[in-house]
Amino acid sequence: MNSERRFKGQVIVVTGASRGIGRSIALAFAEEGAAVAVVSTTTKGSQAAADEITARGGRALPVVADVCREADVTRMVAQAEESLGPVRVLVNNAGIGGPTGPLAKVSLDEWERVLAVNLTGAFLCCREVLKGMLTRTRSTTTPAAAGCIINIGSMAGKIAYPQRTPYASSKWGLIGLTKSLAEEVGRLGIRVNCICPGPIQTDLLESVFQARAAATGVTAEKIRDKYVSVTMLKRILAPDEVAAMTLFLASDAASGVTGQAIDVSGGWADVDRE
């Protein structure tokens, strides 16, 4: 484990932690001494992530919860606090890609499902974790001890993103949630930020390439090339690069940073991606 251990003794909740960006974030916090509640919708997913952390000498709690369900979120936070201690950092990473295609063909069920997971889920998790954080603001003189919330958004929440309107709408909404909540709780020492990844090498991105290829009639490889071409670094980033920003925003080094939507995108340009 990391000898610096910036988060030693702190409790972190990471939703959508069984794979991709969420898994990398959970592992990174554990490497720096945090006790991590790894949340997934499946027992297999949460247990595998927790086992990976403990195998490396870290401390983890597997939690099965659907962030769309209010009762699940209440139980999730209660489990984390009862087993690990007061939650210091919440990372809202759980999300789904939703449909790819013109809005005129998106069903109401598809629309509502994307908003439920990507936006309402983050709202429910923020609300539940804040109950403890707000209590601690009244019992500590150290603002940094109160808490930190980091939402994992997307560059789709900052640009026009045709063929992925439900997803883009949910991520635009997540930035609004971030900024509004940051204003509400900032005076209490609680910081709220959003990370907006660009193309990150995950199973989700690969599924997006395949779906967009099917919707536009071009190959998935050409779609990949287009996504790479609109970045300044000319490459698809790794999940660890998002994890590094997450740890920075949760650390004391970012004590003056709140209400921000920060890109980790390789320099993503707002141009046509068709």
- What are the catalytic residues? 167
Q: How many CA atoms lie within 13 A of 258 on its CB side?
A: 21
Q: How far apart are CA 164 and CA 109, in angstroms?
A: 15
Count of other CB atoms within 10 angstroms of residue 118: 29
Is the CB of residue 38 less than 8 Å from the CB of residue 8? no
Q: What are phi and psi of 66, to 5 degrees?
A: -105, 115
Distance CA 79, CA 62 (A): 10
73/86 Cα distance (integer angstroms): 15
HSE value, Cβ hemisphere, 13 Å, CA-based, for 63: 30
DSSP 179-201: HHHHHHHGGGTEEEEEEEE-SB-
| Amino acid at residue number 43 | T
Residue 146 DSSP symbol = T
